[in-house]
Amino acid sequence: MTLTEKILARAAGKHHVQPGDNVWVEADLLMTHDVCGPGTIGVFKREFGADAKVWDRQKVVIIPDHYIFTADSRSNRNVDILRDFVREQGLPYFYDVIDDPDGKWVFDAKKGPLARQFGANYAGVCHTALPQKGHTRPGEVLFGTDSHTCMAGAFNLFATGIGNTDAGFVMGTGKLLLKVPETMHFRLEGKMNPGVMAKDLILHAIGEIGFDGATYRAMQFDGPGVASLSMDDRMTVANMAIEAGGKNGIFEFDGQTQAFVDHRCKLNGTKSAYDPVERDAEEKFVYDTVLNLDELEPTVACHPDPGQRKKAKELGHIKLDRAYVGSCTGGKTSDFLEFARILRGKKVIIDTFGVPATPEITHDLQTARWGDQTIWQILVEAGVQMTENAGCAACLGGPVDTFGRMNTPLKCISATNRNFPGRMGHKESQVFLASPATVAASALTGRITDPREYLS
Ligand code: SF4
């Protein structure tokens, strides 16, 4: 069995499963957020009763992150609905925007979008926050009401996005009926060269198979090249499995995975026992390829979908209006370090926005120093509009006052993960997906630019 099949077999209480089997699997974790949480709660109450209790309080994680820093009252209200539910159910894992458990969330537009407006428990973008807060354990099954839930596959989980109806059912029963997906195998060899990032790897892979090339399939990444990828890198790759239609993305477990997970579970006092799945000689794949990391080049997915692969060096004719670094995929500390490495001592010439995925990342950037400056200061000095309000921001457009949102038909190069029409705001805007390094180089020239031009 493949890594995915092994996890699903175990979660279904079976010795063996194969692609196409329909099995009831036990969930280890259900995650929801402010966009889908209220709907999920509505389904749960409708189907299980107004006084029903969730199947396991320790296994429900609620993370407001999407439409947070906006004066839109209905968006603010969604966070209040989550808070009311958490109080009613006594849920321990709720990463609220405010500190007062009886309060109401109201974004103060007068303070502006840049200065911190969240409390001590706020965790930022759910997919980046889950591992930081010690909720991703190898070998487990994670369901989330968000398509990029597959990001947790970086930690050797079966993690997948589900809709509100399924989530309401999981909330009540802890189970879900799943069809076992076929597995596509991506063996990684070699090591990426300077200027090339994990984003280039996954954009290359999606370009190979198309934006629907992995529909309802698992994408398994393994091989000797994995050792050179940090956990942040693996998260970027697994996150974008869904951009090829994948049911999930999954990495092999190794010493790096173990060190990260053990540290985070201990730090947060979350459950520390887990049982990873490992490869064996019996794996059967529906697709098998080798990706040589040392052959990769800075890559861009052009408008209008993540499969429109081109090399950055071929796109110098595309003039840009905006650059954006942020999201679960591209707003991690390592992403901002590569962004800052290119921008240090220079000035961007187009509007450039930076949104850390989590408050912990904001803190990292405001404390880590290169010389006598923090990374944050380097970016601000380069002309980047950096917000402390970590969250999804303009990655999915959001209300019109969302930081970085494209309210007119602009062309933007972005370190986010999805570029279908209208994704970051105006329906006639165009989004070019790229690594933070490519976004940085492009922000300096106003045209899509290969970051290797700025490497000394
Ligand atoms: S940052 Fe973007 S992709 Fe990630 S969870 Fe938020 S909206 Fe979705």
For the segment 54-89, what is each residue's pLDDT rounded down to a tens digit? 999 999 999 999 999 999 999 999 999 999 999 999
Ligand 1 neighbourhood includes 125 CB (under 6 angstroms)? yes
Ligand 1 neighbourhood includes 388 CB (under 6 angstroms)? no
Q: Which atom of ligand 1 is nearest to the CA of 395?
A: 2
Q: From atom 6 of ligand 1, which residue's Cα is the shortest distance away? A: 392
User: Which secondary-structure segment (H or E) carries 231?
Assistant: helix 231-239
**If you count them, how many residues does the chain have?**
456
Instruction: State the Cα–Cα distance between residues 217 and 248, nearest whole angstrom.
Output: 7
Note the pLDDT of residue 86: 98
Cα 66 to ligand 1 centre (Å):
7
Cα 357 to ligand 1 centre (Å):
9
Judge contact between 439 and 324, C-beta under 8 A: yes
Note the pLDDT of residue 264: 98
Q: Best of 69, 417, 419, 433 to mutate for ligand 1, by most ligand atoms within 8 A of CB?
A: 417
Ligand 1 neighbourhood includes 402 CB (under 6 angstroms)? no
Quote the DSSP letter at residue 254: -
pLDDT tens, position by position, 11-35:
999 999 999 999 999 999 999 999 9
Q: Which atom of ligand 1 is nearest to the CA of 127?
A: 5
Q: 183-252+259-295 has which CATH code?
A: 3.40.1060.10
Cα 328 to ligand 1 centre (Å):
6
Q: Which atom of ligand 1 is nearest to the CA of 147?
A: 8
Ligand 1 neighbourhood includes 327 CB (under 6 angstroms)? yes
Asked if 3-177 and 299-454 have one fold, the answer is yes
Ligand 1 neighbourhood includes 146 CB (under 6 angstroms)? yes
Ligand 1 neighbourhood includes 332 CB (under 6 angstroms)? no
Average the pLDDT over 225-237 and give the result: 98
pLDDT tens, position by position, 184-207:
999 999 999 999 999 999 999 999
Ligand 1 neighbourhood includes 395 CB (under 6 angstroms)? yes
pLDDT tens, position by position, 326-385:
999 999 999 999 999 999 999 999 999 999 999 999 999 999 999 999 999 999 999 999
Q: From atom 4 of ligand 1, which residue's Cα is the shortest distance away? A: 328
- The CATH class of the 299-454 domain is alpha beta
- What percent of the chain is predicted at pLDDT more than 70? 100
- CATH T-level assignment (fold) for domain 3-177: Aconitase; domain 3 (3.30.499)
Ligand 1 neighbourhood includes 150 CB (under 6 angstroms)? no
Q: Place 453 in a pLDDT band, splitting at 50, 70 and 90.
A: very high
Predicted TM-score (pTM) of the model is 0.98
Ligand 1 neighbourhood includes 127 CB (under 6 angstroms)? yes
Ligand 1 neighbourhood includes 328 CB (under 6 angstroms)? yes
| Cβ-Cβ contacts under 8 Å for 453 (sequence gap 6 or more) | 441
Q: Best of 36, 416, 423 to mutate for ligand 1, by most ligand atoms within 8 A of CB?
A: 416
Q: Place 456 in a pLDDT band, splitting at 50, 70 and 90.
A: confident
Residue 448: CA count within 13 A, CB half-sphere: 26
Domain extent listing, the chain: 3-177, 183-252+259-295, 299-454
Residue type, 302: C
Cα 150 to ligand 1 centre (Å):
12
Q: From atom 1 of ligand 1, which residue's Cα is the shortest distance away? A: 327
- Give yes or no for residue 426 having a pLDDT over 90: yes
For residue 298, cis peptide bond before it (omega within 30 degrees of 0): no
Q: What is the CA radius of gyration of the chain?
A: 21
Q: Average pLDDT of the chain? A: 98
Contacts 24+ apart (CB under 8 A), 270-276: 270/133, 270/134, 270/135, 271/58, 271/137, 273/137, 274/137, 274/138, 274/139, 274/140, 275/10, 275/138, 275/139, 276/138, 276/139, 276/156
Note the pLDDT of residue 344: 98
